[in-house]
Chains A and B, each alone.
Chain A
């Protein structure tokens, strides 16, 4: 018998195995603060929601057809002045600020401690029974700390932005309740010290994501987008469950520390078991991180409010798959086939999504496909064993992509107000209806260009250092097979495409003549300060965020101002304790190999080529689209022929999935239902009604054959059962 787990008060106090002087400061509170925010905002939302039930109903009747129209329906409701609308402004971002400060303090403490082994803090025994012992425990190490910094830091900025963006929405408290809950689950996901705790966060962020995608649920199409995300992620979750199951069967535990310590000796290198585990993990990761084949939900997820897209569908949740692979780096290092699969899926997804982004007109769709593409880069990185590089890109991407989404949000906000002022029913998100916005939104324009240069990979912006490092690592893996040379080629092409579609987006949106219309143009305006200040901070991070991980040779070259700029290779060193075990396995199995550039020369040569290429593409695209006469959406409509039509329709993947998966599944369920329900039950119930008029229903019950059918099946089942037993 195990110890009975009475929950004594002292059990709730943390029992930290403090290793090398790292003394965490109230880490539990970091998680509890967003949860508290959720409870407060949730209660406010229920109060507001039950009061405004009639409002929702009238909104549904009016069938508004765009994001902000619902907002405007509420203008007369003076909702913002109520306590249920003023309190969330302080509670929502407030708890995030608290969490961010606490995280920073812990980060500084960890930085000063030279921590090697992860610090595991056990709160209580969650599943104390039997062979499977799982604690409710969190693990603080370099990886989880970086993730927590990103989540609480970028999360806080997005919460502040949301105050400006969502203020007039009737669902304002509900919005912050979901957002706080999301942050809580995301923190659980990255801090969990074992797979089940991580799984709690994994499922929780999914739930919040669906809730927020369908936030404007009066719109059926938007609610259905949430449903799609939900269904696609089920497949991924199944993968994760299976991986956990095999892990448990193999190791008898689900704790990270025990599994990763035992893995190199328990598992055969490249063996079937570890390959199965990692492939199932990969399936889970592709679901959450929107990779092939499970990427289809992310573009539809753009139906949610734009700050949600920034936080959940760009900066944090969708990177969970990358986190998972980095966390299980030991297992992936032991399974070369799976690691190659990760890199290949990443490269394919990156290229595939980038091509689609070329021909999208909805500004958020461009960013959505761009996100999928950039996640592909991260997958490539962790697939070729460059875990630190993957996490590095995860971090810089969180900065510049959050900035791009928030900037797009500010644009949509402005567009909508302009279109609404003159009651023009144009699409506020279609870039063909924009143009020339830089004259109206100078700051947003500047900030978004910074992010664009960053994502395009142009020196000295953050993306240059993080993305080109990934391409570098993929290229240096070429000695392991021609596959990596191909992947490298795909990565380079993708990088060029990225520069192209981003420049296209910027030109269509901000440059050239304004296409919104005479009357509307007057109403275009810059966003309020609560929205532009977070943009400014993210812009700074998009510039300097990349300077924390620059190799020595690059620092000493032109790119580091010949050693003058404050750059370092800090992140690599910081992540070393996390990736050490995986690196050791790779070194042992694959042997040491000198990193050399796939095109000859060292880091610096490659840096010149990469940034030169990106700049050339950006300039070319700028020149091309500026000289082009862009028709408005109404004039042009959807592309009707050619390759552009295929790209515009996203290679018809949705249609393909609908044909080969959705319809058959629906068909099977309907079939079972018709046979079991309709024919045998509903049909006969109706027959009962008809016959009973003449004969009395008792008699008819026997005549319809319904009971006979049941009894017949029962008897058949009985025969089968006895047959199995006796023969």
Chain B
């Protein structure tokens, strides 16, 4: 079989992963409704619906794998079927799967409506997959909104917790604000070039057919919209509030996977539509990257709330990823994909430990609450330490390799200052990550703490151990994955445009 995009059926094949996952989301929703209808005492247990969701994700992953093997005869105007998209899909599906797997005890304990919660995660993932595949500004916008609206609801999901509702509302209002920027940018870009197709925009800009001032304004507004989505400084103000207030599985999902999707779409948009304007936008990205690396790292130093610290940490990681966008060469783009993969695993893993350690009403989030945690819960302590080391970029972990690839990418584009800032930021970040590990192992538990009551079911244990093992593996044998990531960037970076 070959995709030619001559008939509509080809579009169905090209969007098979998205379609499969959408159907899966509906199934989860329906099953959830029926489970709530009968008065089964076991209805509170989130894991059956979780497993169905995981099956849906697995089916979508299979569709994604199938699509990887399908040759494409001619490019589609709307939907990209390229390795970049398919690799990104693995990250989204994996991130969603990991979030769901690790959230069973939380969702059960907090009495969240599992059916709706997991449905939203799946639909959010569908939006992400559309973002990765969109080769048209309008499709891109649809993807962004599908993802974002699901994310707003996921943030506000715990109706019993006022922090959650407040965070959801804040996120929604500011998100709407940024969507307006995005939409206006799309309109201006269309006005300047007469098309919404990324490749055609690219040709128009390169050929000088675009209206000069208008295209700059359009591009700038698009950049602002995405800078908000990836929480780049100074468009990050919402992030600490939202990440701290949201139910922790939502935080994990947003900080890792939602951010990954935004970066993937950001990269495709600027590399396909505006390669000719690299000189202009790389300056902007340079500043965004520098600010986003410096400020959150400094602020994170004085955080005593672990969830909030991880929120600032996730902003800082966005800064490192912006370095890859600024460099925009093959190595950097492959590094971006590799980083997103590693980052999703370690960030979801770290927040998953926070989920179970924070107590019934998420009341134990202070760093002091982690004193002696490692000795009371050795398995959680060890994996959490690995996640933190990897987040810090400790040699031998996936996080270290990811940073090395970004540094290499920066070096190849001769972004020396950014590389130095990245190295300095990493050095600073060691402090606040390892401080948590320090408390876990090197501080005696307060007499009134009851770490022993932490409930971690077997699937979650296995998920955490597997995540930690993958991080170590990627630190020692990164070769296979980075080669895949490089293959995924084939023909998809600005090598030709660079000086």
Contacts and interface: CB of A to CB of B under 8 A. Distances in A.
Nearest to A132: B408
B103 to A, nearest CB: 25
A131 B408 contact: yes
A726 B220 contact: yes
Contacts of A218: 444
Contact of A2 (B181, B240, B382, B483): B483
B405 interface: yes
Contacts of A126: 476-479
B375 A49 contact: yes
A378 B119 CA distance: 65
Contact of A129 (B416, B428, B483): B483
Interface in B350-399: 372, 374-378, 382, 394-396
A592 interface: no
B170 A707 contact: yes
A720 B394 CA distance: 36
29 contacts: A1-B483, A6-B480, A57-B372, A57-B446, A127-B401, A129-B331, A132-B404, A132-B408, A211-B441, A230-B430, A230-B431, A235-B427, A238-B427, A666-B302, A668-B298, A669-B298, A672-B295, A672-B302, A701-B170, A707-B173, A709-B237, A711-B177, A714-B174, A714-B178, A717-B235, A721-B220, A721-B284, A725-B219, A726-B213
B281 A725 contact: yes
Nearest to B434: A230
Contact of A56 (B221, B334, B375): B375
Given A2-B483, A726-B213, 16 more contacts: A1-B483, A7-B479, A7-B480, A53-B452, A56-B444, A59-B444, A129-B486, A238-B424, A242-B420, A249-B416, A673-B299, A710-B174, A711-B174, A718-B221, A725-B223, A725-B280
Interface residues of A, number: 81
B166 interface: yes
> Interface residues of B: mostly helix, strand, loop or mixed?
helix
A714 B169 contact: no
A7 B442 contact: no
A131 B331 contact: yes
B234 A57 contact: no
B424 A4 contact: no
Contacts, number: 218
A722 B220 contact: yes
B128 to A, nearest CB: 23
Given A223-B443, A711-B177, A725-B280, A249 B423 contact: no
B234 A204 contact: no
A535 B219 CA distance: 73
Interface string A696-727: 01100100000101110110111011101110
A589 interface: no
Given A673-B303, A717-B235, A50 B219 contact: no
A5 interface: yes
Interface in B283-335: 283-284, 287-288, 295, 298-299, 301-303, 330-331, 334
Contacts of A685: 166
Interface stretch (A112-120, A195-203, A526-534): A195-203
Top 6 A-B residue pairs of the complex, sorted by shortest distance between their CB atoms? A5-B479, A60-B444, A717-B234, A217-B442, A46-B378, A200-B395
B483 A127 contact: no
A692 to B, nearest CB: 9
Given A50-B376, A129-B479, A681 B224 contact: no
B227 interface: yes
Contact of A131 (B280, B372, B404, B412): B412
B192 to A, nearest CB: 13
A542 B428 CA distance: 41
A393 to B, nearest CB: 29
Contacts of B479: 4-7, 124-129
Contacts of A129: 331, 334, 405, 479, 482-483, 486
A226 interface: yes
Interface of A: 1-2, 4-7, 46-47, 49-50, 52-53, 56-57, 59-61, 124-132, 136, 196, 199-200, 203-204, 207, 211, 214, 217-218, 223, 226-227, 230-231, 234-235, 237-238, 241-242, 245, 248-249, 666, 668-670, 672-673, 676-677, 680-681, 685, 688, 697-698, 701, 707, 709-711, 713-714, 716-718, 720-722, 724-726
B447 interface: yes
Nearest to A665: B301
Given A200-B396, A725-B219, A249 B438 contact: no
A127 B240 CA distance: 35
Given A125-B479, A670-B302, A681 B241 contact: yes
Given A129-B405, A234-B431, A53 B302 contact: no
Nearest to A718: B224
Interface in B231-264: 234-235, 237-238, 240-241
Interface residues of B, number: 87
Contacts of A60: 444-445, 447
B52 interface: no
B174 A249 contact: no
Given A200-B396, A681-B241, A707-B170, A46 B382 contact: yes
A717 to B, nearest CB: 4
Contacts of B186: none
Contacts of B452: 53
B342 interface: no
Interface in B174-230: 174, 177-178, 181, 213, 216-217, 219-221, 223-224, 227-228
B447 A57 contact: yes
Contacts of A710: 170, 174, 237-238
B240 A677 contact: yes
Given A242-B420, A673-B302, A53 B375 contact: yes
A245 B483 contact: no
B153 to A, nearest CB: 17
Interface in B410-427: 411-412, 416, 419-420, 423-424, 426-427
Contacts of B395: 196, 199-200, 203-204
B411 A248 contact: yes
Nearest to B375: A49
B54 interface: no
A686 B372 CA distance: 31
A584 to B, nearest CB: 31
